[in-house]
Structure 1
Amino acid sequence: MELRMERLAGRIMLLGGWGRAVLALLAGAFGALAMPPVSFFAALFFSFTLLVWLMDGVGSNPERMGSRGLRSAFLIGWLFGLGYFVAGLWWVGAALLLEADEFAWALPLAVLGLPAVLAIFYGVATAFARLFWSDGLGRIAALAAAFGLAEWLRSFVATGFPWNAIGYGAMPVPVMMQSVRVFGLFGMSALSVFVFAVPALFATRRGLRPGIALALLLLAGHFGYGAYQLHLSEATGDGQEVTVRLVQPAIDQSVKLQNSDRVAVFEKHLRLTALPPEAGGRQPDIIVWPETTIPFILTENPDALQRIAAVLKEGQVLVTGTVRSEEQAAGEAPLYYNSIYVIDHSGQILSATDKVHLTPFGEYVPWENLLKRFGIENLVALPGGFTAGARRNLLTLPNGLKLYPLICYEVIFPQVEDEALSQSDLIVNVTNDAWFGNTPGPYQHFLQARMKAVESGRFLIRDANNGISATIDPQGRVVSGLGLNAEGAKDISLRLRKPIENGLPSPNYNFWMVTALLLSGAVISRLGFVSKGN
Structure 2
Amino acid sequence: MERLAGNIVLMWGWRRTLVALLSGSALVLAQAPYDFFPVGFVCFPLIVWLIDGATGEPRDTVFGRLRAAFGIGWWFGLGYFGFGLWWVGKALMVDAESHAWALPFAVLGIPALLAIFYGLATAIARLFWSDGIGRIAALAFGFGVAEWLRATLFTGFPWLSMGYAAMPLPLLMQSVHLVGLFGMNALAVFVFAMPALLADGKHLRAGLAAAALLAVAHVGYGAARLTAPPDETDATLSVRIVQPSIAQDGKWDPAQREAILKRLIDLSIAPDETQASVDVVVWPETALPYLLAERAQMLVDIGEMLADGQELLVGAVRSEAAVTPGAAARYYNAVAAINDRGEIVDAVDKVHLVPFGEYLPLKPLFDAFGIGAIADTFGGFFPGSVRHAIAVGDGARLLPMICYEIIFPQLMRPAEVGANVIVNLTNDAWFGDTPGPYQHFRQAQVRAVEAGLPMIRAANNGLSAVVDEKGRIVDAFGLDAVGALDATVAYRTRPPADTIPRRSISLATILFFATLACGMSVGLRLRL
Structure 1 segment 20-59 matched on structure 2, within 5 A: 20-59=16-55
Q: What letter is aligned with 2:264?
A: H
Q: What is the aligned residue count? A: 527
Pairing 1:470–2:465 present: yes
Counterpart CA distance in 2 for 1:74 and 1:197 is 18
Partner of 2:477: 482
Query: Given the two structures, how large is their TM-score scaled by the length of structure 2?
Result: 0.96
Partner SS state of residue 423, structure 2: strand
| Aligned partner of 2:314 among 305, 308, 320 | 320
Pairing 1:177–2:173 present: yes
Partner of 2:288: 294
Partner SS state of residue 456, structure 2: strand
Partner of 1:358: 353
Q: CA deviation at 1:62?
A: 10
Q: What letter is aligned with 1:123?
A: G
Pairing 1:456–2:451 present: yes
| Aligned partner of 1:136 among 128, 132, 155 | 132
Counterpart CA distance in 1 for 2:164 and 2:350 is 24
Pairing 1:117–2:113 present: yes
Partner of 1:201: 197
Q: CA deviation at 1:494?
A: 2.5
Per-residue deviation, residues 453-512 of structure 1 (Å, max 9, x unmatched):
101111100001112000000011110021101000011022224798799741101111
Q: CA deviation at 1:238?
A: 2.9
Question: Residue 106 and residue 416 in structure 1: after superposition, are their counterparts in 2 closer, same or farther (change >3 A)?
Answer: closer
Question: Residue 79 and residue 501 in structure 1: after superposition, are their counterparts in 2 closer, same or farther (change >3 A)?
Answer: farther
Question: Residue 17 and residue 371 in structure 1: after superposition, are their counterparts in 2 closer, same or farther (change >3 A)?
Answer: farther
Q: CA deviation at 1:97?
A: 1.0
Partner of 2:207: 211
Partner SS state of residue 47, structure 1: helix
CA contact (8 A) 1:237 1:495 kept: no
Query: Given the two structures, how large is their TM-score scaled by the length of structure 1?
Result: 0.95
Q: What letter is aligned with 2:423?
A: V
Partner of 2:340: 345
Per-residue deviation, residues 99-131 of structure 1 (Å, max 9, x unmatched):
112211111100011111111100011111110
Partner of 2:257: 262
Partner SS state of residue 300, structure 1: coil
| Aligned partner of 1:285 among 279, 290, 297 | 279
Q: What letter is aligned with 2:420?
A: D
CA contact (8 A) 1:246 1:489 kept: yes
Question: Residue 83 and residue 151 in structure 1: after superposition, are their counterparts in 2 closer, same or farther (change >3 A)?
Answer: same
Q: Gaps (5+ residues) in structure 2?
A: none
Q: What letter is aligned with 2:392?
A: L
Partner SS state of residue 353, structure 1: strand
Partner of 2:146: 150
CA contact (8 A) 2:173 2:449 kept: yes
Q: CA deviation at 1:135?
A: 1.4
Q: CA deviation at 1:417?
A: 7.3
| Aligned partner of 2:518 among 493, 518, 523 | 523
Counterpart CA distance in 2 for 1:158 and 1:102 is 25
Partner SS state of residue 42, structure 1: helix
CA contact (8 A) 1:60 1:133 kept: no
Question: Residue 136 and residue 282 in structure 1: after superposition, are their counterparts in 2 closer, same or farther (change >3 A)?
Answer: farther
Percent identity over the alignment?
48
Counterpart CA distance in 2 for 1:203 and 1:257 is 58
CA contact (8 A) 1:60 1:135 kept: no
CA contact (8 A) 2:428 2:459 kept: yes
Pairing 1:103–2:83 present: no
Partner SS state of residue 53, structure 1: helix
Counterpart CA distance in 2 for 1:433 and 1:335 is 24
Partner of 1:166: 162
Q: CA deviation at 1:300?
A: 2.2
Please identify, of 369-378 and 66-75, the stretch whose mean Cα deviation from structure 2 is larger.
Answer: 369-378
Partner of 1:330: 325
Please identify, of 505-514 and 319-328, the stretch whose mean Cα deviation from structure 2 is larger.
Answer: 505-514
CA contact (8 A) 2:292 2:319 kept: no
Q: What letter is aligned with 2:147?
A: E
CA RMSD of aligned residues (A): 2.0
Partner of 2:527: 532
Q: Gaps (5+ residues) in structure 1?
A: none
CA contact (8 A) 1:179 1:225 kept: yes
Counterpart CA distance in 2 for 1:121 and 1:372 is 29
Counterpart CA distance in 2 for 1:225 and 1:65 is 46
Question: Residue 281 and residue 299 in structure 1: after superposition, are their counterparts in 2 closer, same or farther (change >3 A)?
Answer: closer
CA contact (8 A) 1:128 1:146 kept: yes
